[in-house]
Structure 1
Amino acid sequence: MPLYWYRRPRLVVLSSKSSVLEAARAMENNSIGAIVVQDHGRIVGIVTDRDLAVRALGHKLDPENTAITEVMTPSPLMLTLADSREEAIALMQQGNVRRIPLSENNRVVGMVTLDDLLLDEAAPLEELAAIVQAQIGEGGPTESPRSPARRRSLARAEATLSRLINAVQTETGLEDRQQARIAVETILALLVRRVTPGEAKDLIAQLPSLLQSPLRALQPGPDKSITRETAITELSQQLGLDTARAEEVIGTIAKAISPGQVEDLRRQLPEDLRSLLVLPDPIDTA
């Protein structure tokens, strides 16, 4: 059964600049136990009541002057409304989590929780209880952000993404890293939505890990409404670029994809979009 039942008419989302105190008040005022964290429209994390207790209160952090990014779980696992309850259970077991945000058209529209699945008798009680027991035993999501292993893993992932963003900024001449990141995420999202699910999966697999979860959460393609014109328009609006400049940026970002993958993508794209992916040598992200 798909997860449409878990769409929320009202979902609390906070900016990454919000404080721990603001998160706690939002949870209290809305009688909820988790908040999605966004940065410039991107889902960057999830913070739970347990995070506030263990990572903020437990470490004596100042709630008013500590950003929620300090205590949230970054790059949360995501699902779409079209995914099934079985997939939600499997992902909870895999990631050792009890809440998974749901997206539709790159927007957070709901959240499926272990409590929901228990109430709906979505699986044998023993199977769902194992998720709770694992969390109790491990002390939270797999590789807590404060554990040495998780910190090393995140550091490697952030370094990989940073090299890509730096290379794109250098090649495109965009003003800052934030613009370069927005450009990368916008174009990759358009490509993922435009091609078939199988091709999208292959493309996502070769990208930096911190980009993968949001891209997997996009509505499956192929979305034939995405054309050369709409791609250029969207990037122009996001970054305030003229048409010619937007075309240059799209071509440069495409260099971050392997030549073989570009050829596979080109075969699925209409001629107008295909022409944007004619690439010389790939950019150096080393």
Structure 2
Amino acid sequence: MKKVSQILGRKGSNVVTITPDITVLDALKQMAEKNIGSIVVLENGHYVGVLTERDYARKVILKGKSSTTTLVNEIMSTGLPRITPDNSLETCMQIMSENNIRYLPVFENDQLCGIISINDVIKETILTQKETIEHLQNYIHS
């Protein structure tokens, strides 16, 4: 059973962060520069939430707000479920599906140590399937 720690081992645990008092536009610029769909929000070094492209679309654009005057703390997602490096991919998929979310912050000993996306889970699942197929083919041919 694959675990979150294996995803973090492949992609790394580097987390791009912002503070809650910057404008949404500045946050979006950072996300575009890094080619990411979410960014972790830290206040005084402590995790407070995540800003996602979905937050922007639903809480700024659809409400007629301006990304140049709206602050991150007005639209960021808070209270997301937390996972640990020991959680299985199946657990992550279940949490993401039940909560209709695409990102999960990863904590170890109450410290943020990474973030995983549904894309990370899908990539790891595909990799696992390829490994299984390869093992089965080797078994059949031996």
Interval of TM-score (by shorter of Structure 1 and Structure 2): 0.7 to 0.9
Alignment pair present for 1:20 and 2:21: no
Report the counterpart of residue 42 of structure 1 in structure 2. 46
Size of the alignment, in residue pairs? 122
1:75 to 63, 74, 79: 79
Cα distance 1:121–1:111, how it changes in 2: closer, same or farther (>3 A)?
same
Report the counterpart of residue 5 of structure 1 in structure 2. 6
Q: Post-superposition shift, 1:100?
A: 0.5
Letter in 1 for 2:3: P
Q: Distance in 2 between matches of 1:94 and 1:57?
A: 25
Indicate if the aligned counterparts of 2:7 and 2:124 stay in contact, CA closer than 8 A: no
Q: Deviations over 1:207-240 (max 9, x none)?
A: xxxxxxxxxxxxxxxxxxxxxxxxxxxxxxxxxx
Q: Post-superposition shift, 1:119?
A: 2.0
Q: Distance in 1 between matches of 2:13 and 2:118?
A: 19
Q: Post-superposition shift, 1:121?
A: 2.2
Q: Distance in 2 between matches of 1:4 and 1:22?
A: 31
Report the counterpart of residue 135 of structure 2 in structure 1. none
After the TM superposition, which of the residue ranges 34-43 and 18-27 deviates more from structure 2?
34-43
Question: How is 1:268-279 mapped onto 2 (pairs within 5 angstroms)?
Answer: none
Report the counterpart of residue 106 of structure 1 in structure 2. 110
Q: Deviations over 1:172-231 (max 9, x none)?
A: xxxxxxxxxxxxxxxxxxxxxxxxxxxxxxxxxxxxxxxxxxxxxxxxxxxxxxxxxxxx
Indicate if the aligned counterparts of 2:3 and 2:86 stay in contact, CA closer than 8 A: yes
- Report which structure shows greater RCO (CA 8 Å, sep ≥6): 2
Structure with max Cα Rg = 1
Q: Deviations over 1:121-172 (max 9, x none)?
A: 27xxxxxxxxxxxxxxxxxxxxxxxxxxxxxxxxxxxxxxxxxxxxxxxxxx
Question: How is 1:227-238 mapped onto 2 (pairs within 5 angstroms)?
Answer: none
Would you tell me which structure has more helix in proportion to its own residues?
1
2:33 to 8, 29, 35: 29
Alignment pair present for 1:65 and 2:69: yes
Q: Distance in 2 between matches of 1:9 and 1:97?
A: 20
Indicate if the aligned counterparts of 1:101 and 1:111 stay in contact, CA closer than 8 A: yes
Q: Which runs of 5+ in 2 are unaligned?
A: 127-142
TM-score (normalizing by structure 1): 0.40
Q: Which runs of 5+ in 1 are unaligned?
A: 123-286
Backbone CA RMSD of aligned residues: 1.7
Would you tell me which structure has more strand in proportion to its own residues?
2
Indicate if the aligned counterparts of 1:100 and 1:113 stay in contact, CA closer than 8 A: yes
Query: What fraction of aligned residue pairs are identical, expressed as a percent?
Result: 25
Report the counterpart of residue 123 of structure 2 in structure 1. 119
Q: Post-superposition shift, 1:4?
A: 0.9
Q: Secondary structure at the match of 1:86?
A: helix
